[in-house]
């Protein structure tokens, strides 16, 4: 178990930035501590929590909760995605998944936009505990409700390594 936890800490690094800022000019010692990751036009880390339900020998239904943080210097954006995917296993190690995704865009903690996208991906299980995924999310609407200097592509490619407990 200790070896698996050590592998987890080496494979899945956690990114934290602590910011101290004054909230107002009236308070001299006011500050705020956050753990948001603010990255402009870069590779973005994301967290993914999933649960699978077996329907038959080859078919599974997967429910997920994915969270990505990004933003500029004064504005923090967070995208929460909730995909419901059908997963078909060709072999014990290789599978394909597809389905709809509901996406919430939050700006400074307030819901700014709700959109839907289609998801298509592949998964390869290296061991019982470690797997790799490649996934393409294609947004079904063309609108970009957030700041134009942030990434506004119509599709998102995600490559991830996952550790199952």
Residue 111: pLDDT over 60:
yes
pLDDT for residue 12: 46
Task: Report the half-sphere exposure of 104 (CA within 13 A, side-chain side).
Answer: 11
| Averaged pLDDT, 92-120 | 90
Q: What is the pLDDT of residues 51-87, one digit of tens each?
A: 889 999 999 999 999 888 776 666 677 889 999 999 9
pLDDT for residue 115: 86
Q: What is the pLDDT of residues 11-66, one digit of tens each?
A: 544 433 333 333 444 444 444 444 444 444 455 677 778 888 999 999 999 999 98
pLDDT for residue 19: 33
Q: Where are the domains of the chain?
A: 47-163
In percent, how much of the chain has pLDDT > 70? 62
pLDDT for residue 44: 65
pLDDT for residue 101: 92
Please, what CATH class does the domain formed by 47-163 belong to? mainly beta
Residue 127: pLDDT over 80:
yes
What is the SS3 string spanning the chain? Answer: CHHHHHHHHHHCCCCCCCCCCCCCCCCCCCCCCCCCCCCCCCCCCEEEEEEEEECCCCEEEEEEEEEEEEECCCCEEEEEEEEEEEEEECCCCEEEEEEEEEEEEEECCEEEEEEEEEEEEEEEECCCCEEEEEEEEEECCCCCCCCCCCCCCCEEEEEEEEECC
At residue 162 the predicted structure's pLDDT band, cuts being 50, 70 and 90, is confident
């Amino acid at each position: 178990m200790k070896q698996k936890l050590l592998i987890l800490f080496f494979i899945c690094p956690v990114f934290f930035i602590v910011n101290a800022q004054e909230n107002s000019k009236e308070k001299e010692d006011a500050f705020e501590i956050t753990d948001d990751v603010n990255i402009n036009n870069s590779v973005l880390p994301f967290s993914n929590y999933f649960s699978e339900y077996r329907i038959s020998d080859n078919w599974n239904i997967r429910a997920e909760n994915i969270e990505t943080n990004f933003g500029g210097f004064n504005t923090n954006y967070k995208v929460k995605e909730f995909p419901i995917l059908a997963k078909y296993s060709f072999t014990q190690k290789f599978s394909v998944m597809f389905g709809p995704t509901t996406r919430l865009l939050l700006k400074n903690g307030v819901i700014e936009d709700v959109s839907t996208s289609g998801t298509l991906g592949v998964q390869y299980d290296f061991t019982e505990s470690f797997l790799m995924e490649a996934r393409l999310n294609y947004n079904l609407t063309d609108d970009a409700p957030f700041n134009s200097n942030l990434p506004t592509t119509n599709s998102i490619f995600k490559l991830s390594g996952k550790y199952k407990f």
